[in-house]
């Protein structure tokens, strides 16, 4: 009656069987067929679970879960409990029960293996149950039933909700594996999960079964090993006071140990690292493994899954050595600077937005004399990882000029990145190889002459109004050049987009730069002339309330609109009492009060090109979706104190700046005072233009977005896309292929079977990228600087201990300050959002608390214990192994937790 197997041996399982055997069993099957040392076992497939639960009455629970938000913890727990009851109460058909009983040979470990488990993007570590040293057929069957039910544990349901995984789509298989009666066991990461460094094995070990280490119940021995050389680079012994041992009749016990020395030999540590390297090589990605050593000294792998928390290493469009300029630089390690983080863009950039930046980077490279093989690939230094933009700054860091200039630029742009880069100065891999300043000087002089920068800067100093008129003319030129002809074909529009972004956009900007450059040069001159006569912060006062700042002007325009709306009581009441999304819909339908409708149209006509994360061409502009703008308007209407209004603050700042100029010039007096007054006056007159280049670039991006939407509309009409907005989840090359591929043809660049019609594969590609983007938006930690071996230098720089600090093992990078919540038992515990959880240790039952925790402090556990793994997955800073943390810290105490250095500051 049923063709799908109920039982499969590991030897018969391959990676393509995930829907049938779940993640854990699929990985064990892959390891077994690869010849790696895996204890023999089998899998009770998802077919058994499906048949047992199809009559269990789960439909109502599933319907309720489908509409439940991830933060509704209490309701999720109630539904999870109901699901467990239904699964445990469901009768097991005789053929399934008999098949399970026949698989019970000797002591076994019974582990759940869900279809959403041990995946490349979410490990689900410890979310379902494991039963060790199970003896006897009935006991095995009971453990299998409980594994099925554990698919609906509170922690598993909360984890799926947090990761956006459909509860209906998840099924449970169960692994039944020969029990390894280990003398010592533990976990091993084949890449360092804290620093990100690849090919560096991190091993935690403790006597007995590995459950003690995985659960965080023990402070294990901790080792770090260079996989390539076998050199043990770090060794820290834990107290290992507790061990989990098998009982003769089944089950396990916890016993006191107190082993003083290391529980594994150096030879075993190196053998583990070598085995980890083999596992990683087989999968092609870093792995989180569990291992055991039996009484005979044999080494076993009991589990392997991808490390899901590592940030991907940035990749170039063309690998170094494939004709790029990067290949011409000294080989070896590389330094990647996150341009996304520097721009405050934490969300992933759309594929089309990334394509746009590749073209822009090609144009910028051409200005600097850097050869570009293919402008669609971008500059040789342009790289991408996890939908974020990176710049390969290795060449700059190995140049005498770049080493001085880049950190100084970042000092005022992204200071933490500057600190990280300076920390690499002493790394011999990045020693200076380009000592001459002549190449950089030649490029600087060439571009200065080409764009008449010195002459225009001098002109701006003499007559600032000319710089302002030049800025106005730039706007006129932009509007004249950006729109493609109305009768242009789709391919002609795409050519236009590529031409504007790839050759014309960047050269427009140097025409504006001389003005603000001259202004800041004058600020620097005044700083030197004043010396110590200017107290800290006084020169910054001069830059308050700057005129000619397009961003300030935008904010004030919105405030003035709010002021007009406030005078209309009915309109103001509508904005204050109606959700912004609903008001945006009414604006689109033309049903808002006239003062709001007209005012918004006037505002958006000028500033509608802007958006949150506006440097991503794929992000809708305010003119397309004014929800955010309307929300800001409503907030302005709630501002009651006139003294705090934006226009009042701006005017007050401008007045203070003028007074400060008078005061500073008077302090030095004479001719020097006159020069200071002139310099600071010119700084005020010109520095505000600094916002115009970015606004101009955003204007260009908005115009190109409009052209692409038009192309997307045509592709949607042809049935190639589901909506015009889908075009932003394609690249320029893919759009060109779509425009030139006849209906019904297959496209070699599209994923999937070559015989599949192209429209279907294109839509599948868009769907997958939307899912990838949604998952990436949940990533909490982004590196500022990343090395090509995966190391995050900021995570390696350990700060010195300070007074009032408790120290432990860094487990999840990042820093957070907040109120502590000391919890000794998770049952009934409650955390306010952002509170730092302080506890003795954690097992999977604690993890629902992680959803609202701002950070984690544990007295026990190592960097690879369960609490540390889940903290990294949720992106919350964590420090583990902090002795007596629950005694030293009290609930409500404000603490600072640094998961990078391993410090908890309580003073």
Q: Where in the sequence numbering do the catalytic residues fall? A: 866
Cβ–Cβ < 8 Å for 353, 617: yes
Distance separating alpha carbons of residues 875 and 896, to the nearest angstrom: 16
Helix 438-450 to helix 453-462 angle, to the nearest 10 degrees? 60
Tokens of 302: 């009991």
Nearest to 302 by CA among 181, 216, 148: 181
Distance separating alpha carbons of residues 676 and 661, to the nearest angstrom: 8
753 backbone dihedrals φ, ψ, rounded to 5°: -65, 135
Cβ of 631: how many Cβ atoms within 10 Å?
16
SS3 of 14-42 = CHHHHHHHHHHHHHHHHHHHCCCCCCCEE
Distance separating alpha carbons of residues 232 and 648, to the nearest angstrom: 63
User: Residue 837: CB partners within 8 Å, gap ≥ 6?
Assistant: 821, 823, 831, 846, 849, 850, 853, 855, 856, 857
172 strand-pairing partners: 114
Helix (H, G, I), strand (E, B) or coil at 255: strand
Cβ of 686: how many Cβ atoms within 10 Å?
28
* CB contact burial 172-211 (16+ within 10 A = b; e otherwise): bbbbbbbbbebbbbbbbbbbbbbbbbbbbbbbbbbbbbbb
Distance separating alpha carbons of residues 755 and 750, to the nearest angstrom: 11
Helix 550-566 to helix 692-717 angle, to the nearest 10 degrees? 70
Instruction: Check residue 690 and report its DSSP letter.
Output: G
Calculate the CA 539 to chain-centre distance. 37
Helix/strand/coil percent split, the chain, to 5: 50, 15, 35
Helix (H, G, I), strand (E, B) or coil at 905: strand
Q: Most distant CA pair in the chain: distance in Å? A: 103
Tokens of 736: 């060109």
Provide the H-helix boundaries in 343-391. 351-367
Residue 292's Cβ-side half-sphere holds a number of Cα atoms within 13 Å equal to: 21
User: Residue 659: CB partners within 8 Å, gap ≥ 6?
Assistant: none
Distance separating alpha carbons of residues 771 and 537, to the nearest angstrom: 47
SS3 of 523-581 = HHHHHHHHHHHCCCCHHHHHCCCCCCCHHHHHHHHHHHHHHHHHCCHHHHHHHHHCCHH
User: Residue 80: CB partners within 8 Å, gap ≥ 6?
Assistant: 152, 153, 154, 156, 157, 158
């Amino acid at each position: 009656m049923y063709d799908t197997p109920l039982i499969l041996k590991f030897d018969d399982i391959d990676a393509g069987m995930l829907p049938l055997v779940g993640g854990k069993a699929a990985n064990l099957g892959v390891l077994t067929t690869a010849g790696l040392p895996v204890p023999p076992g089998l899998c009770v497939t998802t077919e058994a679970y499906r048949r047992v639960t199809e009559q269990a009455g789960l439909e109502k629970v599933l319907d309720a879960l489908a509409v439940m938000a991830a933060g509704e913890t209490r309701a999720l727990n109630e539904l999870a409990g109901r699901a467990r009851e239904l699964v445990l109460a469901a009768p097991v058909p005789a053929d399934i029960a008999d098949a399970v009983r026949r698989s019970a040979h000797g002591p076994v470990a019974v582990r759940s293996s869900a279809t959403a488990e041990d995946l490349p993007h979410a490990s689900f570590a410890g979310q379902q149950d494991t039963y060790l040293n199970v003896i006897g057929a009935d006991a095995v069957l009971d453990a299998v039933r409980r594994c099925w039910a554990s698919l609906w544990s509170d922690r598993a349901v909360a984890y799926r909700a947090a990761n956006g995984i459909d509860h209906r789509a998840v099924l449970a298989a169960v692994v039944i594996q020969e029990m390894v009666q280990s003398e010592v066991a533990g976990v091993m990461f084949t890449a360092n999960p804290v620093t990100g460094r690849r090919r560096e094995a991190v091993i935690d070990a403790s006597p007995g079964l590995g459950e003690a280490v995985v659960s965080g119940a023990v402070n294990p021995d901790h080792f770090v090993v260079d996989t390539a050389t076998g050199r043990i680079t770090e060794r820290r012994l834990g107290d290992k006071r507790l061990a989990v041992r098998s009982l003769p009749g089944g089950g396990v016990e916890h016993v006191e140990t107190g082993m003083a020395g290391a529980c594994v030999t150096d030879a075993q540590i190196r053998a583990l690292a070598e085995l980890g390297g083999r596992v990683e090589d087989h999968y092609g990605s870093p792995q989180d493994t569990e291992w055991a050593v039996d009484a005979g000294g044999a080494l076993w792998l009991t589990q392997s899954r991808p490390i899901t928390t590592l940030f991907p290493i940035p990749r170039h469009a063309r690998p170094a050595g494939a004709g790029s300029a990067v290949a011409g630089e000294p080989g070896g390690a590389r330094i990647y600077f996150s341009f996304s983080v520097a721009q405050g863009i934490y969300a992933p950039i759309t594929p089309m937005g990334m394509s746009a930046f590749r073209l822009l980077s090609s144009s910028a490279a051409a200005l600097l004399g850097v050869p570009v093989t293919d402008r669609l690939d971008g500059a040789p230094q342009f790289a991408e990882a996890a939908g974020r933009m990176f710049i390969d700054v290795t060449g700059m860091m190995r140049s005498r000029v770049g080493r001085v200039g880049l950190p100084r630029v970042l000092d005022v742009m992204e200071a933490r990145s500057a600190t990280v880069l300076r920390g690499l100065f002493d790394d011999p891999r990045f020693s200076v190889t380009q000592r001459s300043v002549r190449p950089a000087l030649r490029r600087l002089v060439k571009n200065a002459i080409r764009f008449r920068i010195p002459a225009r800067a001098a002109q701006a100093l003499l007559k600032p109004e000319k710089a302002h008129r030049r800025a106005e003319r730039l706007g006129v030129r932009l509007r004249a050049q950006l729109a493609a002809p109305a009768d242009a074909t789709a391919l002609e529009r795409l050519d236009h987009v590529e031409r504007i972004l790839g050759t014309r956009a960047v050269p427009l900007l140097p025409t504006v730069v001389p003005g603000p450059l001259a202004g800041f040069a004058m600020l620097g001159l005044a700083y030197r002339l004043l010396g110590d006569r200017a107290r800290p912060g006084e020169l910054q006062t001069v830059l308050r309330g700057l005129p000619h700042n397009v961003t300030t002007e935008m904010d004030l325009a919105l405030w003035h609109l709010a002021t007009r709306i406030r005078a209309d009581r009915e309109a103001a009441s509508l904005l204050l009492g109606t959700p912004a999304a609903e008001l945006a819909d009414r604006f689109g339908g033309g049903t808002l009060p006239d003062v709001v409708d007209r005012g918004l149209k006037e505002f958006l006509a000028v500033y509608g090109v802007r958006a949150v994360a506006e440097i991503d061409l794929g992000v809708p502009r305010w003119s397309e979706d004014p929800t955010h703008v309307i929300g800001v308007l409503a907030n302005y209407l709630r501002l009651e104190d006139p003294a705090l209004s934006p226009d009042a603050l701006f005017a007050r700042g401008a007045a203070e700046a003028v007074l400060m100029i008078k005061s500073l010039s008077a302090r030095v007096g004479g001719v020097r005072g006159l020069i200071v007054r002139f310099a600071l006056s010119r700084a005020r007159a010109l520095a505000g233009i600094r916002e115009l280049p970015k606004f101009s670039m955003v204007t260009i991006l908005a115009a190109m977005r409009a052209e692409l939407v038009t192309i997307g509309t045509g592709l949607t009409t042809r049935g190639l896309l589901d909506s015009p907005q889908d075009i932003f989840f394609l690249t320029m090359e893919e759009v060109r292929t779509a425009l030139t591929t006849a209906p019904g043809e297959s496209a070699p660049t599209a994923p999937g079977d070559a015989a599949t019609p192209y429209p279907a594969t294109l839509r599948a590609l868009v769907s997958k990228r939307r899912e990838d983007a949604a998952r990436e938006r949940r990533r909490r930690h982004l590196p500022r600087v990343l090395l090509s071996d995966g190391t995050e230098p900021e995570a390696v720089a350990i700060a010195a201990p300070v007074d009032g600090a408790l120290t432990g093992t860094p487990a999840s990078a990042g820093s957070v300050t907040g109120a502590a919540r000391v919890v000794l038992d998770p049952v009934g515990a409650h955390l306010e959002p952002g509170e730092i959880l302080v506890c003795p240790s954690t097992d999977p039952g604690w993890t629902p608390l992680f959803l609202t925790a701002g950070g984690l402090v544990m007295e026990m556990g190592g960097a690879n214990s369960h609490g540390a793994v889940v903290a990294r997955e949720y992106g919350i800073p964590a420090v583990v192994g902090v002795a007596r943390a629950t005694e030293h810290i009290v609930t409500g105490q404000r603490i600072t937790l640094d998961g990078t250095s391993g410090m908890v500051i309580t003073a």
